[in-house]
Amino acid sequence: MSAIKSIRSIAPLLDRILVQRIKAESKTAGGIFLPESAVKELNEAKVLAVGPGGLDKEGKRIKPSVQPGDKVLIPQFGGSPIKIGEEEYSLFRDYELLAKINE
């Protein structure tokens, strides 16, 4: 049986960053539901948890570039997928994240 009670119990290791992709609109502005094939995947994600950071050559932690709550651009490929119930998440290495999205 899965040991994962909630996504909050996932603590990424080293420089890994746990993110969840931001869902694209499945309704038009006018409220019409779009068929699934018309919903484009976004490469935007919300940071849920960050690891303690990778180790540099002197054994010191390299501070991750992002924090939980940040919105980020993720690369089109890569990342390790995790599925909990019906929700999908991904783990990226810190250096794989492309950009922060400021609001």
| Vertex 63: Cα angle to 60 and 67 (nearest 5) | 155
Place of tokens 């690891």: 51
Alpha carbon 1 to its chain centroid, in Å, reads 24
Residue 80 interacts with a second copy (CB under 8 A): yes or no:
yes
Question: Of these, 1, 30, 31, 86, which contacts a second copy (CB under 8 A)?
Answer: 1
CA atoms within 13 A on the CB side of 80: 9
33 vs 95 by CB, closer to a second copy: 95
Please report, as ranges, the residues that interact with a second copy according to CB under 8 A.
1-5, 9-14, 16, 18, 22-25, 42-44, 51, 55-57, 59-60, 62, 65-66, 71-73, 75-76, 80-82, 91, 95, 97-103
